[in-house]
C-alpha cells in the first residue's frame, strides 16, 4: 500500500491477533515441540514458527508490497526501512510460554519509512491487546490509556534482564539500588505492558528489533523514552542494550552512569 | 477451640478473605498512606494495617483462644507454637501493592501445636484464592490442584530475591545459571503461587514467618519442600534464608552448593 490506512490496519491486525491467540491456547492441549537456538535457554517451539507463518501470510495477503522482519525467519531479509516494514515477534517470552503457559506476548510493530505507526502487544493469557500509535493513542482492549506519571528512578520499580543484573552490566546493580527495586518477568512484551500501565518506571535489557519494535511505538506515544542505554537512538534493524524509561527515570539513570 | 474443624475454618476464612479483598480494591479509589519501616524500600500502608486489624478481629471472634502472629503487630507476642496459631500477612508484596496495584497477596497459615493445618493465599487482583492443607488437598478457588511435576533445576524457572541475586548470596548466580532462568516477582505469595501451579521449580529468599507460613502448608501438601537454604527445618517463629523447591530441584541445588 502507498500509505497506511490506520483504521483499516488496526481492524485487520486485531482480527489476526485474536485468531493467533486462540490457536496458541488451543495448542496447549497438544505436545509442544521445543528446540534450542543460540543456547540452552534460547528456545523456539512449533507454536512460535506456526504463529509467525500465520501472521506473515496474513500480512502478505493484506499488503503484498510490505517488507516483513520476523524473529523466526519467515519474513524477508531486510537491509533498510524504506516503505512499509512489519516487524513480528510471534511469541515473546518463549521460555515463559514453555515453562509457565503464561506471561508471554504476540507483538507486531509497523513502520513507514522508519517512522513507527502502529504497535500491537497481545497479552495472550490475560486476553488484553495493547495497541495504537502516535495518530490514535494507546489502548488496552477498548480502554484508552493515560500517559503514565513521569516518575523518578527512586520512586519506581525497574524491569531488568537477569543476566545483566547478575553481571552488573553497566552498573545495573547501582541503578537498581537507587530505584524501588528490580523485577524480572522474562519477556520484553510483559515489561512494556507494565511500563505502559505505570507499574514500572523502566526496563533495561539486551533486545533484538522484534523485542522492541511494537513496544517502542506504544511507549513513545505515551511519553516514555525508548533508546539505547547511553541515550542514543535505536537502529530498528540492530540488537542493542535498550533502556525504556519515563523521562525522569532516564535522566536519573544517565546522571548516575555519568557519575562513574 | 480444642481442635480445628477444617471445613468450618475453611468456610469462615474464605468469607473473611473475600471481604478483605473487596475492601482493598475499594480503597484504590482513595489516597494511600505509605510509611517506611526498616528501610527506604520496606513499606507499610494504612491498608496493610487495616487489613490485619480486620483479620485479627475476625480470628479473635471466631477462636478466642487462638494465638495470632501478624506482620504489622496487631496479633500477640508469641514465643512458642503450642495450641492453635494463626500467622497473618495482610498484604504480602506491599511494594507491588503501592507501585503496581497488582501482584500482591493476603496470606493466612494456621498451625496446631506446630503442625500446618490450613494455608490461604489470596491473589487479590486475579481474584484467585489458593487454599487447603494436608487433610483436604490444595485448591485454586474451587479447582483441586494436581501435584506439580518433580522438575529438575535445569528444566525450570527459579524465583529469586533480587538483593540476594545481586550480591550472589550463597552462590545464587551459579544456581540460576544451572536453571532455565531467574524470575523476580517481588512477593513471596506470588512466587508460592507460581510454584504451586508448576510455573517455577523454586524460590530462594530471606523470609519472615508470615511470608512463608501459608505457602509452606500448601506447598508441602503438593510435595514441594520448604526448608532453609541448607536443607534444615524452618523455625516458624524465626526469619530464615528459605529454599522452596521441587524435591529434584532441591537435591540439585544442595548438590551444587556442596560442590563449592
pLDDT tens sequence across A219-249: 999 999 999 999 999 999 999 999 999 999 9
Assigned CATH topology for domain B153-258 = D-Maltodextrin-Binding Protein; domain 2 (3.40.190)
Res B3: pLDDT: 77
* Partner residue facing A183 (CB), from B157, B173, B185: B185
Residue of B nearest to A187 (CA): B183
- pLDDT bracket for residue B4 (50, 70, 90): confident
A62 sits in which H/E element: helix A46-62
Mean pLDDT, rounded, for B71-81: 95
For B36-49, b/e burial (b = at least 16 CB within 10 A) is eeeeebebbbebbb
Are B200 and A157 a contacting pair at CB < 8 A?
no
Q: In three state form, how does the secondary structure of B23-80 look?
A: HHHHHCCCCCCEEECCCCCCEEEHHHHHHHHHHHHHHHHHCCCCEEEECCCCCCCCCC
Consult the annotation and say whether A91 binds a ligand: yes
A157 in contact with chain B, both atoms CB, cutoff 8 A:
yes
| Chain B interface mutation, best of A165, A188, A201, highest count of B Cβ atoms under 10 Å | A165
B202 interface with A at CB cutoff 8 Å: no
Residue bearing cell 483479620: B55
- B contact test, residue of A39, A45, A95, A99 with most B CBs within 10 A: A99
Q: Tell me what pLDDT residue B2 has.
A: 56
- pLDDT at position B8 over 60: yes
B193 is in an annotated binding site: no
User: Is B2 marked as binding a ligand?
Assistant: no
Residue with cell 484464592: B129
Contacts of B217 by beta carbon, 8 Å cutoff, 6+ apart: B109, B110, B116, B117, B118, B119, B132, B133, B134
State the pairing for strand pair B43-45/B34-36: antiparallel
Using the Cβ of B180 and the Cβ atoms of chain A, whether some distance falls under 8 Å is answered with yes
Lowest mean pLDDT among A26-30, A57-61, A93-97, B190-194: A26-30
What value does the mean pLDDT of chain A take?
96
Contact criterion met (CB < 8 Å) for A199 and B101: yes
pLDDT (tens digit, 9 = 90+) per residue, B91-115?
999 999 999 999 999 999 999 999 9
The residue of B94, B164, B172, B181 whose CB has the most chain A CBs within 10 angstroms, and thus the best one to mutate to test that interface, is: B181
Mean pLDDT of chain B, nearest integer: 96
Chain A residue whose CA is closest to B201: A99
- For residue A105, how many other CB atoms are within 10 A of its CB? 30
Q: What is the per-residue pLDDT for A3?
A: 76
Taking 60 as the threshold, does the pLDDT of residue B1 lie above it? no
Give the CATH architecture of domain A6-144: 2-Layer Sandwich (3.30)
CA distances from A194 to A131, B99, B101, B107 (A): 14, 11, 11, 24
Domain boundaries along the sequence of chain B: 6-144, 153-258
pLDDT of amino acid A1: 47
Model confidence pLDDT, tens digit, residues B204-250: 999 999 999 999 999 999 999 999 999 999 999 999 999 999 999 99
The pLDDT, as a whole number, for residue B29 is 86
Amino acid at each position: 500500500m502507498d500509505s497506511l490506512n490506520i483504521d483499516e490496519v488496526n481492524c485487520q491486525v486485531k482480527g489476526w491477533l485474536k485468531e493467533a491467540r486462540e490457536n496458541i491456547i488451543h495448542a496447549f492441549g497438544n505436545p509442544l515441540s521445543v528446540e534450542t537456538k543460540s543456547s540452552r535457554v534460547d528456545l523456539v517451539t512449533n507454536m512460535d514458527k506456526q504463529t509467525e507463518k500465520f501472521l506473515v501470510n496474513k500480512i502478505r495477503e493484506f499488503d503484498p508490497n510490505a517488507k516483513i522482519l520476523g524473529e523466526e525467519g519467515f519474513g524477508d531479509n531486510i537491509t533498510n526501512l524504506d516503505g512499509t516494514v512489519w516487524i513480528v515477534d510471534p511469541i515473546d517470552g518463549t521460555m515463559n510460554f514453555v515453562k509457565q503457559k503464561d506471561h508471554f506476548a504476540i507483538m507486531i510493530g509497523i513502520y513507514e519509512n522508519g517512522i513507527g505507526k502502529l504497535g500491537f502487544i497481545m497479552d495472550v493469557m490475560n486476553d488484553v491487546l495493547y495497541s495504537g500509535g502516535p495518530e490514535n493513542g494507546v489502548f488496552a482492549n477498548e480502554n484508552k490509556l493515560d500517559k503514565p506519571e513521569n516518575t523518578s528512578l527512586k520512586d519506581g520499580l525497574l524491569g531488568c534482564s537477569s543476566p545483566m543484573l547478575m553481571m552488573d552490566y553497566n552498573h545495573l546493580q547501582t541503578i537498581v539500588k537507587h530505584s524501588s527495586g528490580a523485577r524480572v518477568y522474562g519477556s520484553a512484551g510483559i515489561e512494556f505492558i507494565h511500563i505502559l500501565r505505570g507499574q514500572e518506571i523502566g526496563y533495561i535489557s539486551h533486545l533484538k528489533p522484534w523485542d522492541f519494535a511494537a513496544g517502542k511505538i506504544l511507549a513513545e506515544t505515551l511519553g516514555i523514552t525508548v533508546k539505547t542505554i547511553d541515550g542514543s537512538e535505536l537502529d530498528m534493524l540492530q540488537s542493542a542494550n535498550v533502556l525504556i524509561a519515563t523521562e525522569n527515570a532516564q535522566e536519573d539513570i544517565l546522571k548516575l552512569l555519568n557519575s562513574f
